[in-house]
Every structure is written in C-alpha cells, then in structure tokens.
Amino acid sequence: MGILDTVERVHLGLDYHIQRHNLLTANLTQIDTPGFRPLDLVRGQSFEGALNAALTETSPMHMGGAQSAERFDVREDPSAGVGFDGNGVSVDREAVKIAANQLRYDTLAVLASQTLNGLAWAANDGRG
C-alpha cells in the first residue's frame, strides 16, 4: 500500500458523491416530465469486491483478489414509485438522497483534510 493510496481512495469517494449529487438534482429538474424514471449512481464494485481489495492491500497472502479501478454506473432507480403520468420522481425521496449524499461527502472531505494534514506533518518531520 503506497503512501498516497488513502488520498486516492478518498478522491474517488469525493468524485462519486459529486457525480451522484449532480444526477440526483437533475432528477428534480425532470419532475414534470411524463414517463421520466429517476436515475441513481451506483458503484461498479460490489461489497465483496471492495472487501477483497481492502484485505489484499494489508497482505498479499490475504484472499488474493485482483484490484480493479472503481467505476460508477448510472441506473434507473428500481425503488421509485410511478405517478399517474408515469413519472417516478418524488421530491421527498430525492431530497433525502441528496441530504444523505451531502453528509457522506462532508465526512469524506474532513477525512481528506485530516489525511493531507497528516502527510504534511510527516513531510515536515513532525514540526508544525
């Protein structure tokens, strides 16, 4: 595991949440479009794949899984209900998703800041 791998993972997480925010807000602009089905952004890697990658990083002897670059896929939201005009956008559902996504983004932003501060501290040999 390289010294900047954590920074790269946080960067991917931030990218995901920015792209998801843009997609969720775009759903809201289609609220009056008949037949529109809301979209969502999903990570291309499954939980098992992420777990294998994380364990492999700690030791090559652990569950030897191949790492792949994380990708994001746009998919129709299967849990969205359909209105009388065939539109599946709900202001309440999209607002909840946007708020949860924002919370996750903010958490990752704090983590990124702390990680970069730690690297700066280490680069300065522990001085201020």
Residue 115 pLDDT: 86
C-alpha span between 40 and 44 (Å, rounded): 12
DSSP 75: E
Query: Residue-wise pLDDT tens for the chain (128 aa)?
Result: 566 777 888 889 999 999 999 999 999 999 999 999 999 998 875 545 555 555 555 555 544 443 445 678 899 988 888 888 989 999 999 999 999 999 999 999 999 898 888 888 888 887 76
63 within 8 A of 56, measured Cβ to Cβ = yes
Residue 24 pLDDT: 95
Residue 65 pLDDT: 40
Residue 52 pLDDT: 58
Contacts of residue 118, Cβ cutoff 8 Å, sequence gap at least 6: none
| Backbone dihedral angles phi then psi of residue 41, each to the nearest 5 degrees | -100, 130
Residue 32 pLDDT: 92
Instruction: Note the residue count of the chain.
Output: 128
Q: Is 16 exposed, middle or buried (0-12, 13-18, 19+ CB in 10 A)?
A: buried
The reported pTM is: 0.73
Q: Tens digits of per-residue pLDDT, 43-66?
A: 875 545 555 555 555 555 544 443
